[in-house]
Amino acid sequence: MFQLIQDEADFIVIDKAPGVHFHSQDGSAGVVATAEARLGLKLYPVHRLDTLTSGLIILAKSSEAAADFTELFSRHGVQKYYLALAKGKPKKKQGKVAGDMAKARRSQHKLLRTMENPAVTQFFSASVDEGLRAYLLKPLTGKTHQLRVALASLGTPILGDELYGGEAADRGYLHAWQLYFCFRGQHFHILSGHPPGAQFALPGFGKLLDEEWGNPDSLEWPKP
């Protein structure tokens, strides 16, 4: 269900498996409750991942630490990088997706043309196999389903994300890959393991991470 990636005095970072609920529901324990039971700690979530999404989650060890993280997130002090795979050719290969978001039908959200309180996502993409592209995503905001909606708006919904029109697959191909932040005077760069999934195991994807995207904070990102 998860792997413990980092254990600090005030927080832990876990790597959540795909298809695992964040909160307990349907009579089964979510990843937070499971981590609390396994580690014998009271944990305080400071952000979350969708069920289909795998990757890094920060869990504070006290309400005070959680409040500090909440303030850090509110001033965009935590930079997150995600990996995704999608079939087809996007409307643009790199740049940004921005717009207000609103609830739609069937638990979906949709991207609007207005910009009052927009979701903003920067991205790069590259071909990794015939008809398949990888996406390196840098969300500048933290809206619900933001990355899933962003890729769907490009005409390339995430592979396995059937809610937004993605082709069926062994998992939803979205992974929270790297975190950069400064907490209580200490700088952290936290990297997850290689994401699980048959398509993430493609040689072209691994080569892309090794040769081009391995240090995403150093890339020349499109202007926000």
Q: How many CB atoms lie within 10 A of CB 131?
A: 9
Catalytic residues: 50
Number of helices (H) and strands (E) in the chain: give both, helices first: 4, 12
Tokens representing 1 are 């269900």
Contact criterion met (CB below 8 Å) for 196 and 171: yes
CA distance 118 to 206: 33
Strands 78-87 and 101-103: unpaired
Note the residue count of the chain: 224
Q: How many CB atoms lie within 10 A of CB 168?
A: 8
Considering only CA atoms, which of 189, 138, 145 is closest in space to residue 53? 145
Tokens representing 44 are 């305080």
